[in-house]
């Protein structure tokens, strides 16, 4: 008989790149989780914007079980029905004409960047390779994506860093005008920065990027790994912002907890990924594709998307009420159910101190950098769970304020 794993096993057996909380959740249902001791938690973290339908949603469980009895994997030597159905669903519901399937956000972004480089290479030659990105941007942890990301600490010590990458200031179009030219192959941007602090991109900024890309024959890449699949109240954020990219990446909530990613693009750009140029063993895996298709079909409905907007208002009202009593936040912002509360000057960089207190009160939340409390709950979180979660959050905040 094997022993029940414990938190100490993490330090014993796993590389030390994470520092997980002491509790180990073992079961989840909807927006509630239970740990090894049977303690219950309300989940405002959603697996970092992954569990778009909460834990063990019957629609996803059913899709996974049905596919598990049918076919698990084939490789890319064959195509398969779930992958084709998912690709078709993504094309029919977005600007895209073509899809590349993979298993994570970093992998989708890696594909997007390689596609942009290859497309520009085929169009304009070797010199058209420059990539414009933004400070505080987050695009994944592969070496190309940390280099394009805007947090230098993630690339430090792994050098030499790939060349031809420059960073502007988010929401500052002038900073991009100084960087973009005819040697630029792509501008990569999150329509709302997630890890960087839950910062919504201004419509005029994003439209300005579109115009600059058009003027310089560069591709606009929207990283919607965190904002996609209903998170902001539309299937993808670009659809409500009215700015259409040439390439869009999706992952996180796409599989609702099953690893899957996708890169979407147009018929103008897709041919640059000609036969043999790129690939991924698990890309288009039938299990992943079946779950993602079920997630998309369930989320991309007026009922779920309207519900996201209604819940956004609820989150905002609760957070403002907490703030009226405790004065810890400077600003509450975000779109849909990706919500950030930036700490006030007096509580600067203390958002991270709320998390362990919240765990003790039975609430899971997130931060986006040390100064922003972040929430990315299930898109269908029951209103009663929002109210109870906010009561627990308020207890955690009042303990922070009381210095307990």
Please answer whether residues 44 and 376 qualify as being in contact, where contact means their C-beta atoms are separated by less than 8 angstroms: yes
Whose Cβ is closer to ligand PLP: residue 190's or residue 394's?
A: 190
Nearer of residues 117 and 392 to ligand PLP, judged by Cβ: 117
CA 6, CA 17: separation in Å to the nearest integer? Answer: 18
Segment 62-81, which members bind ligand PLP (CB under 6 A)?
A: none
Site membership for ligand PLP, residue 225 (CB under 6 A): yes
* Location of structure tokens 């900024």: 205
140 binds ligand PLP (CB under 6 A): yes
Say whether 223 is catalytic: yes
Place of tokens 């959050």: 393
- Distance CA(200)–CA(281), nearest Å, equals 35
Catalytic, 114? Answer no
Stretch that binds ligand PLP, among 165-173, 188-196, 308-316, 356-364 (CB under 6 A): 188-196
Among the listed residues 128, 144, 205, 223, the single catalytic one is 223
Residue with smaller CB distance to ligand PLP, 31 or 226: 226
Of the candidates 31, 80, 226, 232, which one interacts with ligand PLP according to CB under 6 A?
226
Q: Binding to ligand PLP by residue 194, rule CB under 6 A?
A: yes
Residue with the two structure tokens 């990924």: 273
Cα dihedral 203, 204, 209, 211 in deg (nearest 10)? 120
Rank residues 225 and 248 by Cβ distance to ligand PLP and give the closer one: 225
Say how far apart CA 250 and CA 269 lie, in whole Å: 17
Among 100, 176, 223, 305, binds ligand PLP (CB under 6 A): 223
Does position 51 interact with ligand PLP (CB under 6 A)? The reply is: no
Measured from the CB atom, the residue of 135 and 382 that comes closer to ligand PLP is 135
Sign, CA dihedral 347-367-166-96, equals negative
Contact status, residue 44 vs residue 363, Cβ threshold 8 Å: yes
**Residue 401 Cβ vs ligand PLP, minimum distance, rounded to whole Å:** 30
Does 257 sit near ligand PLP (CB under 6 A)?
A: no
* Residue closer to ligand PLP (CB basis): 90 or 251: 251
397, containing H or E segment: helix 383-401
Is residue 101 a contact point for ligand PLP (CB under 6 A)?
A: no
Using the rule CB under 6 A, give the single segment among 60-68, 223-231, 239-247, 346-354 that binds ligand PLP. 223-231
Q: Does 150 help bind ligand PLP (rule: CB under 6 A)? A: no
How many residues in the shown chain lie near ligand PLP by CB under 6 A?
15
What does the alpha-carbon distance between residue 164 and residue 162 come to, in Å, rounded to a whole number? Answer: 7
Q: Which two tokens stand for residue 320?
A: 């403002």
The least CB distance from residue 54 to ligand PLP, in Å, is 19
Q: Is 110 a residue that touches ligand PLP (CB under 6 A)?
A: no
Contact 233, 220 (CB under 8 A): no
Exactly one of 134, 252, 273, 329 is catalytic; name it. 252
Tell me if 59 sits within 8 A of 53, measured CB to CB: yes
Is the distance from CB of 245 to CB of 252 less than 8 angstroms?
Answer: no
Q: How far is CA 348 from the centre of its chain?
A: 25
- Only one of the segments 32-40, 132-140, 202-210, 370-378 lies at the binding site for ligand PLP (rule: CB under 6 A); that segment is 132-140
- Give the closest residue to 101 by CA, choosing from 244, 291, 298, 285: 285
Q: What x/- string results for residues 301 through 340 when contact with ligand PLP is judged by CB under 6 A?
A: ----------------------------------------
**Among all chains, which residue has been given the structure tokens 């002491």?**
22
106 binds ligand PLP (CB under 6 A): yes
Tokens representing 209?
Answer: 């990027």
- List the structure tokens of 96: 């895209």
How many other C-beta atoms can be found within 10 angstroms of the C-beta atom of residue 14?
10
Q: How far apart are CA 131 and CA 140, in angstroms?
A: 16
238 binds ligand PLP per the rule CB under 6 A: no
Nearer CB in complex with ligand PLP: 150/362: 150
Among 105, 208, 256, 307, the residue binding ligand PLP under the rule CB under 6 A is: 105
Rule CB under 6 A: say whether 190 interacts with ligand PLP.
yes
Q: How far is the CB of 345 from ligand PLP (least distance, A)?
A: 27
d(C-alpha 29, C-alpha 378), whole Å: 11
User: 71, 84, 85: which is closest to 287 by C-alpha?
Assistant: 71
- What positions carry a catalytic annotation? 138, 223, 252
Instruction: State the residues that interact with ligand PLP by CB under 6 A.
Output: 104-106, 109, 138-140, 190, 194-195, 223, 225-226, 251-252
């Amino acid at each position: 008989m094997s022993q029940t794993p414990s938190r100490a096993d993490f330090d014993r057996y796993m590389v030390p790149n994470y520092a997980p909380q002491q509790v180990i959740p073992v079961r989840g249902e909807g927006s509630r989780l239970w740990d090894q001791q049977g303690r219950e938690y309300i989940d405002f973290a959603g697996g970092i914007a992954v569990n778009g339908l909460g834990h063990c949603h019957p629609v996803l469980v059913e899709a996974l079980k049905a596919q598990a009895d049918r076919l698990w994997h084939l490789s890319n030597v064959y195509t398969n029905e779930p992958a084709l159905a998912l690709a078709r669903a993504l094309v029919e519901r977005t600007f895209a004409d073509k899809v590349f399937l993979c298993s994570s956000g970093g992998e989708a972004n890696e594909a997007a960047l390689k596609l942009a480089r290859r497309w520009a290479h085929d169009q304009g030659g070797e010199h058209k390779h420059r990539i414009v990105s933004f400070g505080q941007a987050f695009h994944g942890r592969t070496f190309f994506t940390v280099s394009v990301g805007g947090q230098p600490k993630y690339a430090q010590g792994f050098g030499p860093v790939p060349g031809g990458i420059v960073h502007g200031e988010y929401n500052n179009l002038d900073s991009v005008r100084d960087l973009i030219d005819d040697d630029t192959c792509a501008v990569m941007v999150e329509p709302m920065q997630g890890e960087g602090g839950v910062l919504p991109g201004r419509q005029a900024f994003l439209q300005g990027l579109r115009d600059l890309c058009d003027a310089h024959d560069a591709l606009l890449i929207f990283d919607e790994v965190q904002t996609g699949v209903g998170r902001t109240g539309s299937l993808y954020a670009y659809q409500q912002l009215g700015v259409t990219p040439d390439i869009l990446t999706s992952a996180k909530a796409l599989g609702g907890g099953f690893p899957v990613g996708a890169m979407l693009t147009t018929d103008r750009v897709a041919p640059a990924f000609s036969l043999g140029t790129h690939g991924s063993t698990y890309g288009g895996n039938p299990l992943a594709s079946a779950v993602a298709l079920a997630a998309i079909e369930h989320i991309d409905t007026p009922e779920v998307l309207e519900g996201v907007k209604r819940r956004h208002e609820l989150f905002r009202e609760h957070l403002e009420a907490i703030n009226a009593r405790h004065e810890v936040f400077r600003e509450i912002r975000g779109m849909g159910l990706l919500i950030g509360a930036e700490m006030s000057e007096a509580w600067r960089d203390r958002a991270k101190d709320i998390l362990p207190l919240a765990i003790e009160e039975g609430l899971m939340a997130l931060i986006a950098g040390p100064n922003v409390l972040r929430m990315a709950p299930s898109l269908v979180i029951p209103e009663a769970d929002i109210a109870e979660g906010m009561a627990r959050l308020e207890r955690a905040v009042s303990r922070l304020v009381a210095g307990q």
